[in-house]
Structure 1
Amino acid sequence: MKSKPRGFHLITNEVTNQLSQLSKIRCGILHLFIQHTSASLTINENADPTVRSDLEAHFNKFAPENADYYQHTYEGSDDMPAHIKSSILGSSISIPITNGQLNLGTWQGIYLGEHRNHGGQRTIIATINGE
């Protein structure tokens, strides 16, 4: 996945556009796993972009940069907070597939949480099981 700026990004279409075999699955599950310790995957609001900016603001207060108790500081002031955010939100999600489409709720979408100022390109592994 191309590099994204720090924040929460709706990536549902980017994911589904890469999975041509999705349309052939009648009943199954999509498992997504991000291979990074400073970014995360989660499912949340897909309509109002203020949810994404509010999440970013909240997590920045919850896991601030430059906390005086951080020991892991040699990779930059945004690194340890990124690890905290990633651990809380998680590195994987699973979504049901029904009749060739992700069976997300009406207002749900897949988010990539980019928790570094310059995280770079991210790799997401997709595994589809089903019939």
Structure 2
Amino acid sequence: MRQDQARFDIATNGKALYEFTDRAQAFVAAGGIATGLLTVFCRHTSASLLITENAADAVQRDLLCWLDRAVPEGPQYEHDAEGPDDMPAHIRTMLTGASLAVPVAGGRMLLGTWQGLYLAEHRARPHRREVVAHLIGE
């Protein structure tokens, strides 16, 4: 059994989805592991990870709009240390998750045809986010 690990820095420009599928696939290919599992983990509490469609931009816009409706900003939260988007960002992260697991075969992630890996930035301001990737297999 072999393992490899990497960190991806992702610069964000505010609320949006940022695809990093190509970076993750390059890491998998360079790792030389034919069959295994890729785990990616977001090291933040106000950004999260998603697997979603990467063919139609409308899907990404609809997801972000749904999150805004499901977890609106406003005065209803006690925690607002970093502004009105602070606590809603934490809730959106809790709903969408901090880690993903993707099977690997033939040295490639086994994503579906239209699937991509995304970092979801839930804050209005730009940030530098860090995603840790761990690959294990043979």
The two structures have a TM-score, normalised by structure 1, of 0.92
Q: Deviations over 1:38-73 (max 9, x none)?
A: 00001010111111111111101111111x321001
SS of the residue aligned with 1:2?
strand
Aligned residue number for residue 63 of structure 1: 71
Q: How many residues align?
A: 129
SS of the residue aligned with 1:26?
coil
Unaligned runs of 5+ in 1: none
The match for 1:38 among 42, 46, 49 is 46
Aligned residue number for residue 133 of structure 2: 126
Unaligned runs of 5+ in 2: 1-8
SS of the residue aligned with 1:56?
helix
Q: What CA distance in whole angstroms lies between the structure 2 residues aligned with 1:12 and 1:109?
A: 6
Aligned residue number for residue 17 of structure 2: 8
Tell me if the contact between 1:9 and 1:52 (Cα under 8 Å) persists in the aligned partners: no
Q: What CA distance in whole angstroms lies between the structure 2 residues aligned with 1:18 and 1:130?
A: 14
Aligned pairs for 1:58-97 within 5 A: 58-66=66-74, 68-97=75-104
Q: What CA distance in whole angstroms lies between the structure 2 residues aligned with 1:2 and 1:44?
A: 18
Which residue type is aligned with residue 121 of structure 2?
A: E
The two structures have a TM-score, normalised by structure 2, of 0.87
Q: CA RMSD in A?
A: 1.4
Which residue type is aligned with residue 124 of structure 2?
A: N
Q: What CA distance in whole angstroms lies between the structure 1 residues aligned with 2:135 and 2:24?
A: 12
Tell me if the contact between 2:53 and 2:114 (Cα under 8 Å) persists in the aligned partners: yes
Displaced runs of 4+ in structure 1, greater than 4 A? none
